[in-house]
Amino acid sequence: MPSPDRLHPMIVPRTTRDAILARLRKKIDARQPIMIASAGSGLVAKLLEQAGVDCVNTFSGARLRANGMGTMSMMWPILDSNRQTLDYTREDIMPAISGDAFICACLNANDPLKDMRMVLQECKDMGVMSASNIGPSLSYVDKGSTIRAVLENCGITMQNEIDMLILAREMDMVSVGLAFDMEDSLAMAKEAKPDIFCFHAGTTKGGRVGYDSGESIEDTAKRTEEVYQAVREIHPDVILVGHGAAMETPEDAQYMLDNTSGHGFWTGSSTERLPIEQAISQAAGAFTALRFSD
């Protein structure tokens, strides 16, 4: 017998922090990998959920990817990233899911125009019980650069991202922390103690707008494991997942599972932009190759 929430597709399923974490812990105990994946449209979210993804994450970069742009286009001040994330999550993503996967909203904790408590409450009101600091994050701007120094001087800091994750926990949401280097990873683990921590190894390579730093999957796994070990010493109960850099294909993700001590992985372009590029190019190419028969 389906639950009442499943009787009508426009009645968005609801879940709780405890239910989400219990499901994830059950998978970990069974030695099954945790999988988080990004979605910039309702169709992608629906297909990811049906494929068995545990968490579908929404953020400005994924929405822009759905428009054919690269993830990093979200860093250019052409839009209100939080408003975009909240709007498309509410209108496109939540009505498309059945509740088998939980939704994590990736938010801009450095938004100067919004009280993050109100943003997180808006997430909860639409049925989103998880939040992350990656949409966008100051981490995308290189440390030591002039623009990083200027941004920090203006009050755009990693501490604001950590504080948002702390607030999410206080509001009974599942917190998902991302960091790009050892220093920020340790600070996040110590202060925010996120339920899930993802080491972001770098922009995923591949496809039309991916970035290939030249790093091998062996190097990505090595760097990821070093961070895992350090974070686990501070926060032993954390769920650990990896993302980005050379982890482009399922074979790459398998290498990460076999050569790190984490619990799973987070895909973005690998299960969204890249397969869409390939499938549509192939299907449309087959149609455009047709000719009138003699």
| Nearest residue to 103 (alpha-carbon basis) of 127, 137, 134 | 127
Is the confidence at residue 1, as pLDDT, over 50? no
pLDDT value, residue 95: 93
Which range of residues forms the domain containing residue 229? 13-281
Please indicate, yes or no, if residue 7 is contained in any of the structural domains. Answer: no
Please indicate, yes or no, if residue 6 is contained in any of the structural domains. Answer: no
Distance CA 174, CA 163 (A): 14
Type of residue found at 57 = N
Is the confidence at residue 2, as pLDDT, over 70? no
- 281: its two tokens: 């190019």
pLDDT value, residue 56: 97
Is the confidence at residue 210, as pLDDT, over 70? no
Q: How confident is the model at residue 159 (pLDDT cuts 50, 70, 90)?
A: very high
| Model pTM score | 0.90
Q: DSSP secondary-structure letter at 90?
A: I
pLDDT value, residue 208: 47
| Cα dist from 62 to 12, 41, 91, 92, whole Å | 21, 8, 15, 12
| Nearest residue to 70 (alpha-carbon basis) of 274, 213, 287 | 274
Please indicate, yes or no, if residue 108 is contained in any of the structural domains. Answer: yes
Please indicate, yes or no, if residue 2 is contained in any of the structural domains. Answer: no
pLDDT value, residue 258: 97
The mean per-residue pLDDT over the stretch 193-217 comes to 75
Chain segment 255-293, per-residue pLDDT in tens: 999 999 999 999 988 888 888 889 999 999 999 999 999
Please indicate, yes or no, if residue 32 is contained in any of the structural domains. Answer: yes
| Nearest residue to 188 (alpha-carbon basis) of 169, 207, 173, 205 | 169
Please indicate, yes or no, if residue 286 is contained in any of the structural domains. Answer: no
Residue listed under structure tokens 């979200």: 74
Mean pLDDT of the chain: 90
pLDDT value, residue 148: 94
Higher pLDDT, 104 or 64: 104
Higher pLDDT, 6 or 79: 79
Is the confidence at residue 227, as pLDDT, over 70? yes
Please count the structural domains in the chain: 1
pLDDT value, residue 212: 53
Other Cβ atoms closer than 10 A to 206 = 17
Please indicate, yes or no, if residue 202 is contained in any of the structural domains. Answer: yes
Buried/exposed 165-185: b ≥16 CB within 10 Å, e otherwise: bebbbebebbbbbbbbeeebb
- Residue 71, class by beta-carbon neighbours within 10 Å (0-12 exposed, 13-18 middle, 19+ buried)? buried
- 133: its two tokens: 């600091």
Q: Are 82 and 221 in contact (CB under 8 A)?
A: no
Please indicate, yes or no, if residue 100 is contained in any of the structural domains. Answer: yes
Chain segment 95-141, per-residue pLDDT in tens: 999 999 999 999 999 998 999 999 999 999 999 999 999 988 999 89
Q: How confident is the model at residue 5 (pLDDT cuts 50, 70, 90)?
A: very low
- Residue 3, class by beta-carbon neighbours within 10 Å (0-12 exposed, 13-18 middle, 19+ buried)? exposed
Task: Please list the helix, strand and coil fractions of the chain in percent, rounded to the nearest 5, in that order.
Answer: 50, 15, 40
User: The domain that contains 170 carries what CATH number?
Assistant: 3.20.20.70
